Amino acid sequence: MTILHVIPALNPAQGGLLSTLAGLCLAWHKAGGRCEVAALETSAPPAVLEHAEVKLFAPGRPRRLAASPAMKAWLAQNAPRFDAIFAQGLWLSPTRYAFNAAQSAQRPFFLLPAGMLDPDALAHHRFRKAVRWWLGEGGMVRRANILFSTEEDRARAMNHLGLEPERCHILANPVQDVWFDMAPPAPDELPRIACLNRLHPRKGVLELVQALSLLHGRGVAFHATVAGPEEDRAYVARCREAGAALERAGRLRWPGLLDGAGTRALVAASDVVVHPAVGFENFGMVIAEALAAGRVVMASRRALVTPQLERAGLVEAVEPQPESLAAGLSRLLERRAQWPELAARARIYAREHFGAEAVGRRLIALLGSS
């Protein structure tokens, strides 16, 4: 079977959309299928997708909606070739092109909203989104097969929008194989804590730094690293100010944005990965990757993969406030002797639920029932 994925662009600015797409292509490849990807050309070099054939299209106008007459025409002509069509995200023209082409060709259409149907996300630019919803986005959503990444993600959107349950499915974001191959952390006297988040108010970096400062003030020793792009200058300044004493004491460092190899190297050199998100996230990819790597994880419940992991006893789940984060880290540090056993169980769970083979089997089941 051959499926088509439609995404606005294949550049790093797509963030979670791009990592999810790469994982889905791997999952479908492992299931014995074939993937093609349609995206718009951008000034940045496109990401390389090992398990997909990529076709790029010239952008048109309006650019802010990622319009492309060339993509629209190609989809209309080629949609009958595919067994199913998947679109990543909402509000931009490529998703509408994909939906219309799938409808015309009578092919199953799957929408991956990537958190964009969450009440928290819909409240941002509320009026603009209400207009787009009325102009046709809402009709498309209600006729699509929608793929949510967690049960909590599904419930929040379904309850808020009154979506039909039979059209709302769960498909976890797949974790790349490389994370499962990571060796256990080398022993070290002090616990090594890593946070891989962009420096933005929604991501909770400031709250984490404040929590680390609380622990430092109580005499708790550790080495912490916060890595990620600095997107908001004012917020970055607040984070750096809050962590100044930790930096002087050699307890905190800021390496900035890391590439894929650098990210994996940081996780490999860490014992604990912390994800302190303040804003709601439909999944929390760094959490799943850290579990697959056999690391101990503390995660905010605002990342919607956290509740299922908390129920399974695999993460230290917290609220994204400094005191809660500090208390969660304290609990983990008190159980340091149990980390190897916890990490081993978490890795097994991650492979069974987030591994490419598991997601590939789920994709086959979804297509078989569509």
pLDDT at 206: 98
Torsion-angle region of 117 (φ positive above 0: left; ψ -120 to 50: alpha; else: beta): alpha
Q: Are 283 and 153 in contact (CB under 8 A)?
A: yes
- Tell me if residue 34 falls in helix, strand or coil: strand
Span 2-174+355-369 CATH architecture: 3-Layer(aba) Sandwich (3.40)
Percent of the chain exceeding pLDDT 70 equals 99
What's 199-231 look like in SS3? ECHHHCHHHHHHHHHHHHHCCCCCEEEEECCEC
Q: Which two tokens stand for residue 58?
A: 């010239």
Tens digits of residue pLDDT in 145-173: 999 999 999 999 999 999 999 999 999 99
Q: In whole angstroms, what is the distance from residue 145 CA to residue 300 CA?
A: 29
pLDDT at 320: 98
Tens digits of residue pLDDT in 181-225: 999 999 999 999 999 999 999 999 999 999 999 999 999 999 999
Q: Are 234 and 314 in contact (CB under 8 A)?
A: no
Angstrom CA distances, 116 to 68, 137, 181, stand at 22, 12, 32
Pick the residue with more confidence: 14 or 144? 144
Q: Are 190 and 227 in contact (CB under 8 A)?
A: no
* pLDDT of 12 over the 70 cut: no
**Cβ burial 142-180 (10 Å sphere, 16+ → b, else e):** eebbbbbbbebbbebbbeebebeeeebbebbbbbbeebb
User: Within a 10 A sphere around the Cβ of 350, how many other Cβ atoms?
Assistant: 25
* pLDDT of 13 over the 70 cut: no
Q: In whole angstroms, what is the distance from residue 220 CA to residue 327 CA?
A: 12
Q: CATH topology of 2-174+355-369 equal to that of 178-353?
A: yes
Q: Does this model's pTM top 0.85?
A: yes
Q: What share of the chain is helix, strand, coil (3-state, %, to 5)?
A: 50, 20, 30
* pLDDT of 11 over the 90 cut: no
**What's the CATH class of domain 178-353?**
alpha beta
Task: Provide the CB-side half-sphere exposure for 237 (13 A, CA).
Answer: 2
* pLDDT of 52 over the 80 cut: yes
Tens digits of residue pLDDT in 253-288: 999 989 889 999 999 999 999 999 999 999 999 999
Environment class of 184 (CB within 10 Å of its CB; exposed 0-12, middle 13-18, buried 19+): middle
CA 215 to chain centre: 29
Longest dimension (CA), the chain: 66
Mean pLDDT over residues 305-319, rounded? 98
- The beta strand positions in the chain, using DSSP E, are 2-9, 34-40, 53-57, 84-88, 109-112, 145-148, 168-170, 192-196, 223-227, 252-253, 272-275, 296-300, 316-318
Binned at pLDDT 50, 70 and 90, residue 47 comes out as: confident
* pLDDT of 59 over the 70 cut: yes
Binned at pLDDT 50, 70 and 90, residue 15 comes out as: low
Extents of the domains making up the chain: 2-174+355-369, 178-353
Residue 148 φ/ψ, nearest 5 degrees:
-95, 150
* pLDDT of 48 over the 90 cut: no
Tens digits of residue pLDDT in 78-137: 999 999 999 999 999 999 999 999 999 999 999 999 999 999 999 989 999 999 899 899
Tens digits of residue pLDDT in 237-253: 999 999 999 999 999 99
Listed in sequence order, the residues at least 6 apart from 96 whose beta carbon sits closer than 8 Å to its beta carbon are: 136, 137, 140
